[in-house]
Structure 1
Amino acid sequence: MVGAGVLSLPYAMSSLGWGPGVTVMIVSWIITLYTLWQMVEMHEMVPGRRFDRYHELGQYAFGDKLGLWIVVPQQLIVEVGVNIVYMVTGGQSLKKFHNLVCPNCQEIRTTFFIMIFASVHFVLSHLPNFNSISCISLAAAVMSLSYSTIAWVAAVDKGIQPDVDYSYKASTTPGVVFHFLSALGEVAFAYAGHNVVLEIQATIPSTPEKPSKIPMWRGVIVAYAVVAICYFPVAFLGYWMFGNSVDDNILITLNKPTWLVASANMFVVIHVIGSYQIYAMPVFDMIETVLVKKLNFTPSFSLRFVSRTTYVAFTMIVAISVPFFGGLLGFFGGFAFAPTTYYLPCIIWLAVYKPRRFSLSWWTNWICIVLGVLLMVLSPIGGLRSIIISAKNYKFFS
């Protein structure tokens, strides 16, 4: 659950301000916990059947063809978007680690660090399933908790900066508005577990006496407690210490203590290695299903090797081309994460369970849907503008 998006939360706070920022953080936590509960509940809502993929849930609610077209493109954009962002994150964190450990060494371009990070995935992408990456996932979970803690502890240790400024970073009204919209997407990006939750729940044994939703919901509660422990201190304390001078990745802002910040950046690298695979696995499954069932390729090691290697290479090339962490988070957070995380589970819930009109469940779901749609429409505008502005001063493949 705890993704690299946590590192951008102080930057998002600097664009939102104290009041809206705290409100958006808490409301997002509540809404996404609610929609995640819905997905856990709907996994086995039909006796004797399990919806092991997000699109299967959509097909049951909207019909085979329409459900596929509603869910799959959105889920695919989310998973590919996360993989691209994690390529950028891994490369930037490796570069920061190198610069801290060897400050007098020759400057190495970010491009090469992204390629080094990608080289790991050219190997790991050939592991067969979620269970085979459980050790990597465990290491990623420990790392995410570690670097999140280091981020806010190091910020507090550095103390409030003498020239700290809590006003908006942009000096013009359009700038303030667009930064605000992009920040909404950055917060949305931080809550990303919904897109693989059914695949994860599918790995849990289930019987009528002990359905999988019981242990799964316990896991979700623990995960969201950890999310709160990680996200809120990083967002609020990071912004409190640095104000609007914080970078879009707080670990880039921090430099001392050197050994601690260097360790945190390496923890980020280990974490996004595991997270990349978590989000890539469903994409591999989709690609191979299309190749075998639609294009009549014969299932083989060669097919698997070529398709997975090609996908990793694609995400690497895009990451090298647009390595703008904050802008990518704002764009993908709103455009892709808002539908699958904030309101699509609510629409499916209304379609399947049909709660009584104007009941508490009806109102709750409709409020989530309205807020989610606004987020999806508005925040990509800010994120895209941020990417365009960053691209003006960027040398391709630099």
Structure 2
Amino acid sequence: MGEVAEANYFRSEIALLNYSDATFKPPLSPLLIHIDPNDHTCSPISELHPQNQHPKDAWLPITESRNGNAFFAAFHLLNSNIGFQALMLPVAFSTLGWGWGTVCLTVAFVWQLYATFLLVQLHECVPGIRHSRYLFLAMAAFGKRLGKVAALFPVMYLSGGTCVVLIITGGGTMKLLFKTLCHNDDGDTCNGHSLTGVEWFLVFTCVAILIAQLPNLNSMAMVSLVGAVTSITYCTLFWVLSVKKGRPNNVSYGSSLSHHSTPLPNITHVLNAIGIIVLAFRGHNLLLEIQASIHGTLPSNLEQSSKVAMRRGVTVSYALISMCVFPLAIAGFWAYGNQASTRGLLTSLPQLHKRQITKFSMGAIYVLVIIHCLSSYQIYAMPVFDNLELRYTSIKNEKCSGLVRTCLRIFFGGLTFFIAVTFPFLPSLAALIGGMTLVPVTYAYPCFIWLALKKPRKTSLVWCFNVALGTLGMLLSALLVAAAIRTLVVKGLHANFFKPK
């Protein structure tokens, strides 16, 4: 029975891959669809026939609701892209300096924006099928096996792993909020008894699981709106307050690189700084899922195609993202220079302006960070929910009931909580794991996928540009991983298993 179920699941998954949003209609079983394993191109369909979603697509949370629009896309993109990782940008500038820091930040922003528009274009082959998930797009471009090898771990980590980091960050911020509010006016002693780190993680996870009961991606639009508003607000507050409160004494803007050491340590520091900038942009693993919820049943050749709405959403959201990350980096470095904490503005602001920032202001910032972490958890967890339900429906060949869907989401929440408690030092590995996962998915794979599916003429300008950009992305990934490993070897890792601070 196990072998039969596995075979059925395998065929169902590939059917959903090859015919997602194709012209097949119920009651055709996805297990009976003929599959050509050698066909990885965009299969043409009638230009006059609307694209009807695959029967199983209507069962899954990412694609069961297809009435999204450009506003929904912008909400989701802002919620998933802007976050606490941008608060680390002044640390990168303290190594690179004003000039190279600005250049690297600009290049990274333009590069990942180009990759974003490639993915928007690749969601719909005109005319042809729609790829509603990043993993499925990679499998269509690279082949079933190579696509899974290349994309499965990065995509799943960037969903599940990010949720774990959000629990650690959100739970830790809850603890900071409690300490801020319970301190007396002198700021020396706390008038209340705080929960332990594990208990704060549990509180955050319980609230996140409660919100996660929303059924599908479009039903989360208002949650993403709240997350977008809070993230933009606290990013703005950080750089505005940093500038308003003035610079601490003895602020220096010279590079923190040593002129007396061997080149290797300096190269490592530069690569780590570039890694901070590169990892400040994220969310590409969610782009196709977000686009899948927009006008999903319209013909791909019409002007109402999801590409049009998605481009508008991307344009608006990335304009706002640029208005957050560039001031954070530049104003944050101006305010703190080389005195910026290695943990970013979330630590630098209360440490260096302890007597100037009111308890209310700092508490409000912590509340905004917590709300954004809770909102961002939902958008990053959705691909995992979708994957779990795909496996359930592939085995049972029926839609998940409300009880099953709730149980799957509680299971995922419990799993991420367990991992967060087991590995509370996971953010310390962000450079290492991010170099292996986020960098290829964001900067390299979109170029190679575009080449595989669009097949431009070899040696043409477009072909050479994308080959060079994709190769540079993979090289950057390898260099960042090597630099992160060397840093861990030299500085060590405080592996506080099961002991959250």
* TM-score for both structures, normalised by structure 2: 0.73
Distance 1:227 1:298, change over 3 A: closer
Q: Name 1:129's counterpart in structure 2.
A: 216
Q: Name 1:350's counterpart in structure 2.
A: 451
Distance 1:64 1:391, change over 3 A: closer
Q: Name 1:153's counterpart in structure 2.
A: 240
Q: Name 1:246's counterpart in structure 2.
A: 340
**What's the CA shift for 1:387?**
6.1
Q: Name 1:366's counterpart in structure 2.
A: 467
1:102-117 superposed matches below 5 A: 102-103=182-183, 104-105=189-190, 106=193, 108-117=195-204
Aligned equivalents of 1:96 and 1:146: distance in 2?
19
Aligned equivalents of 2:487 and 2:223: distance in 1?
33
Larger displacement relative to structure 2 (386-395 or 257-266): 386-395
Q: Name 2:91's counterpart in structure 1.
A: 11
1:214-251 Cα distance to aligned partner (Å, 9 max, x none): 11101101111111100011012112211232222312
Letter in 2 for 1:32: Q
**DSSP-derived class of the 2:442 partner:** helix
Q: Does 1:164 align with 2:251?
A: yes
Q: Over alpha carbons, which structure has the higher Rg?
A: 2
Aligned equivalents of 2:200 and 2:459: distance in 1?
54
Aligned equivalents of 2:306 and 2:398: distance in 1?
35
Which of residues 352, 377, 383 in structure 2 aligns to 1:276?
377
Larger displacement relative to structure 2 (296-305 or 5-14): 296-305
**What's the CA shift for 1:48?**
4.6
Which of residues 95, 119, 140 in structure 1 aligns to 2:175?
95
Contact 1:85–1:329 at 8 Å: present in 2 too?
A: no
1:1-398 superposed matches below 5 A: 1-103=81-183, 104-105=189-190, 106=193, 108-167=195-254, 175-205=265-295, 206-207=298-299, 208-247=302-341, 248-255=343-350, 256-293=357-394, 299-324=400-425, 327-384=428-485, 389=491, 391-392=493-494, 394=496, 396-397=498-499, 398=501
Distance 1:387 1:154, change over 3 A: farther
**DSSP-derived class of the 2:85 partner:** helix
**DSSP-derived class of the 1:190 partner:** coil
Distance 1:121 1:241, change over 3 A: same
Of structures 1 and 2, the one scoring higher in RCO (CA 8 A, sep 6+) is: 1
Letter in 2 for 1:3: G
Aligned equivalents of 1:91 and 1:360: distance in 2?
49
Letter in 1 for 2:479: L
Aligned equivalents of 1:294 and 1:180: distance in 2?
49
**Percent identity among equivalent residues?**
36
Aligned equivalents of 1:286 and 1:294: distance in 2?
13
Letter in 2 for 1:232: F
**What's the CA shift for 1:152?**
0.4
Aligned equivalents of 2:156 and 2:144: distance in 1?
18
Contact 1:347–1:365 at 8 Å: present in 2 too?
A: yes
**DSSP-derived class of the 1:201 partner:** helix
Contact 1:12–1:183 at 8 Å: present in 2 too?
A: yes
Letter in 2 for 1:204: I
Gaps of 5+ in 2: 1-80, 184-188, 351-356
Contact 2:447–2:470 at 8 Å: present in 1 too?
A: yes
Contact 1:88–1:323 at 8 Å: present in 2 too?
A: yes
Letter in 1 for 2:94: S
Aligned equivalents of 1:290 and 1:186: distance in 2?
35
**What's the CA shift for 1:119?**
1.5
Contact 1:78–1:195 at 8 Å: present in 2 too?
A: yes
* TM-score for both structures, normalised by structure 1: 0.91
Contact 2:425–2:494 at 8 Å: present in 1 too?
A: no
**What's the CA shift for 1:101?**
1.9
1:37-57 Cα distance to aligned partner (Å, 9 max, x none): 011111111425221111222
**DSSP-derived class of the 2:294 partner:** coil
Letter in 2 for 1:136: V
Would you say how many aligned residue pairs link Structure 1 and Structure 2? 398
Aligned equivalents of 1:357 and 1:336: distance in 2?
28
Distance 1:268 1:317, change over 3 A: same
